[in-house]
């Protein structure tokens, strides 16, 4: 709410103040100059210099309400809320129509988590302010703190009605719409906004994001392209456009957009990875591999990069290379469940079943609770003849998937193998109840059990 100086005057004031500090000479500044100097240092995080400027400012202008309000702002920042509130009450007695007093009071109540009172004070500030946009923006933020997204959205929209170029308010409006699952309504709002402000690259970018979220990829591409026409260095729009073009299988164009982000700034591992994926889709295997290698070189901690290289070699059935890269990945992060699962898959394909079992176990220990991981682990244990361990694994899996026929048929087969007829019958009954047609699991994994006349008879009795 403080008045801005022309930039040249502003820089001159700063130079003059800093010269004064170095020489110990005392120069005169008007109160508004002091306000700008103090706020500059606060923005720079130089609180000591801000305090020096405030002290000198109050010595030269002891009755300046503006400087006292800056002092209040500093006190609030330091959580000295009671002192700040006392000062505001004194200032209110002198200037009861000063909107900044209400704004700072609202700030104090917000800090105390009394957001309803903060909104009440900000609405009072609206009666006296000339900067409606700023106050509506503050009201919107208070409603966000209260998780009242509808009211927050209304406030940010009012802010934009007062200041159409307020980008933070535009982002917040879209955030509210998205949080409320109102993407279509958000698009309609953005269209109206664009009619008033057609050269807002932010609005076009947000419209593109919203279309992308609704899987309207053609519309998303159009919006992102408008954003880049307005600002040909808009990295985010190029990146998002690349993603939308990938969805449309327009891989060459997607590569161009990802490449543009690299040309404009330092390469990101994400852009390199996506370029590699696009080349792979186009059948350019050499180029794909080149970019996957660039990805892990740029960011060795990005698991998607290592996974992309490993999966590339897996698809080529080049298991030795795949194993080489997954081992490199594990050397960097041995707690990554995705790496361990691929380690297991590769070793299984190579016939190294004990290594595969270790991989599936490590994947589960590190949080992989996908059904296929549990089943693959149990099947490897069964293959290795570790029937009791296979049973224990499946019983653990059943805690996550209590109604899964794949687990029940496997348990039935294992208990039949161990000649524990009662438990076997119990689990076979469960499997048939859950999915009668899925009994081929038993046939595939336990062919000898499947051929048993007693088992066939049991299955026929439970036929629906």
- CA dihedral 160→165→170→172, nearest 10 degrees, is -80
247 confidence band (pLDDT: 50, 70, 90): very high
* pLDDT on residue 24: 66
Tell me the per-residue pLDDT of 383-442, one tens digit each, with 9 for 90 and over. Answer: 999 999 999 999 999 999 999 999 999 999 999 999 999 999 999 999 999 998 898 999
**SS3 readout for 437-450:** HHHHHHHHHCHHHH
Average pLDDT of the residues in 32-36 = 71
* pLDDT on residue 60: 67
Q: What are the phi and psi torsion angles at 333 (to 5°)?
A: -145, 95
The H or E element containing residue 372 is: helix 371-383
* CA nearest neighbour of 439 among 396, 409, 404: 409
Higher pLDDT, 11 or 279: 279
pLDDT of 170 over the 90 cut = yes
Whether the Cβ atoms of residue 298 and residue 314 lie closer than 8 Å to each other: no
**SS3 readout for 375-421:** HHHHHHHHHCCCHHHHHHHHHHHHHHCCCCHHHHHHHHHHHHHCCCH
Average pLDDT, the chain: 89
Q: In whole angstroms, what is the distance from residue 220 CA to residue 217 CA? A: 5
Q: In whole angstroms, what is the distance from residue 13 CA to residue 7 CA? A: 10
* pLDDT on residue 154: 96
* pLDDT on residue 3: 45
99 confidence band (pLDDT: 50, 70, 90): confident
Count of all residues that appear for the chain in the document: 464
241 confidence band (pLDDT: 50, 70, 90): very high
Whether the Cβ atoms of residue 394 and residue 404 lie closer than 8 Å to each other: no
Q: In whole angstroms, what is the distance from residue 308 CA to residue 54 CA? A: 57
Alpha helices in 1-148 (DSSP H): 7-23, 31-43, 47-60, 65-77, 81-94, 99-111, 115-125, 132-145
Tell me the per-residue pLDDT of 35-90, one tens digit each, with 9 for 90 and over. Answer: 677 777 777 777 777 777 666 766 667 776 777 777 777 777 777 888 888 878 88
Average pLDDT of the residues in 100-116 = 90
Structure-block tokens of residue 172 = 């917040």
Residue holding tokens 């240092």? Answer: 41
Q: In whole angstroms, what is the distance from residue 377 CA to residue 357 CA? A: 6
Residue holding tokens 């929209």? Answer: 157
- Whole-model pTM above 0.85? no
Q: What are the phi and psi torsion angles at 234 (to 5°)?
A: -80, 90
Residue holding tokens 């120069």? Answer: 27
How far is C-alpha 451 from the geometric centre of its chain's CA atoms? 53
The H or E element containing residue 39 is: helix 31-43
* CA nearest neighbour of 446 among 176, 418, 423: 418
* CA nearest neighbour of 343 among 366, 322, 364: 322
Q: In whole angstroms, what is the distance from residue 16 CA to residue 38 CA? A: 14
- CA dihedral 163→169→171→177, nearest 10 degrees, is -110
* pLDDT on residue 272: 96
Q: In whole angstroms, what is the distance from residue 160 CA to residue 63 CA? A: 35
Residue holding tokens 């030795």? Answer: 320
Give one DSSP letter per residue of 155-203, joined into a string. Answer: HHHHHHHH-TT-HHHHHHHHHHHHHTT-HHHHHHHHHHHHHH-TT-HHH
User: Any idea what the Cα angle at residue 305 is, between residues 303 and 309, rounded to 5°?
Assistant: 120
Structure-block tokens of residue 90 = 């004194």
* pLDDT on residue 14: 66
* pLDDT on residue 58: 63
Q: What are the phi and psi torsion angles at 424 (to 5°)?
A: -60, -45
- Percent pLDDT > 90 in the chain is 70
Tell me the per-residue pLDDT of 306-363, one tens digit each, with 9 for 90 and over. Answer: 999 999 999 999 999 999 999 999 999 999 999 999 999 999 999 999 999 999 999 9
Tell me the per-residue pLDDT of 4-18, one tens digit each, with 9 for 90 and over. Answer: 445 555 566 666 666
């Amino acid at each position: 709410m403080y008045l801005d100086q022309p930039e040249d005057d502003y820089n001159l004031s700063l130079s003059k103040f800093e010269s004064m500090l170095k020489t110990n000479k005392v120069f005169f500044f008007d109160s508004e100059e002091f306000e700008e100097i103090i706020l500059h240092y606060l923005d720079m995080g130089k609180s000591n210099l801000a305090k020096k400027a405030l002290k000198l400012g109050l010595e030269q202008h002891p009755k300046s309400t503006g400087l006292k309000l800056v002092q209040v702002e500093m006190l609030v920042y330091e959580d000295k809320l009671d002192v700040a509130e006392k000062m505001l009450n004194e200032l209110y007695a002198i200037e009861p129509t000063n909107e900044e007093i209400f704004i700072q009071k609202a700030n104090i109540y917000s800090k105390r988590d009394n957001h309803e009172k903060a909104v009440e004070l900000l609405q009072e500030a609206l009666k006296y302010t000339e900067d409606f946009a700023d106050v509506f923006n503050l009201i919107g933020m208070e409603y966000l703190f209260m998780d009242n997204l509808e009211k927050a959205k209304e406030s940010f929209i009012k802010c934009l009605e007062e200041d159409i170029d307020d980008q933070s308010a535009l982002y917040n409006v879209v955030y509210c719409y998205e949080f409320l699952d109102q993407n279509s309504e958000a698009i309609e709002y953005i269209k109206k906004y664009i009619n008033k402000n057609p050269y807002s690259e932010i609005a076009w970018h947000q419209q593109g994001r919203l279309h992308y979220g609704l899987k309207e990829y053609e519309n998303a591409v159009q919006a992102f392209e408008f954003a880049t026409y307005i600002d040909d260095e808009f990295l985010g729009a190029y990146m998002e456009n690349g993603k939308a073009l990938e969805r449309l299988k327009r891989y060459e164009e997607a590569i161009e957009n990802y490449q543009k982000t690299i040309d404009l700034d330092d390469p990101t591992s994400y852009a390199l990875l996506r370029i590699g994926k696009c080349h792979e889709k186009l059948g350019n295997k050499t180029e794909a591999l080149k970019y996957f290698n660039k990805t892990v070189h740029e960011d060795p901690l990005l698991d998607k990069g290592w996974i992309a290289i490993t999966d590339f070699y897996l698809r080529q059935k080049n298991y030795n290379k795949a194993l080489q890269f997954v081992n490199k990945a594990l050397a960097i992060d041995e707690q990554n469940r995705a790496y361990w699962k691929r380690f297991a898959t590769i070793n299984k394909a190579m016939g190294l079943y004990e290594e595969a079992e270790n991989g599936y176990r490590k994947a589960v220990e590190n949080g992989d609770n996908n059904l296929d991981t549990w089943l693959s682990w149990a099947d490897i244990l069964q293959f290795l003849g570790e029937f009791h361990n296979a049973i224990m694994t499946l019983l653990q899996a059943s805690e996550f998937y209590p109604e899964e026929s794949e687990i029940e048929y496997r348990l039935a087969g294992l208990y039949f193998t161990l000649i524990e007829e009662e438990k076997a019958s119990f689990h076979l009954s469960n499997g048939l109840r859950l999915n009668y047609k899925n009994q081929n699991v038993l046939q595939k994994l336990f062919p000898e059990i499947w051929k048993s006349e007693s088992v066939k008879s049991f299955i026929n009795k439970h036929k629906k």
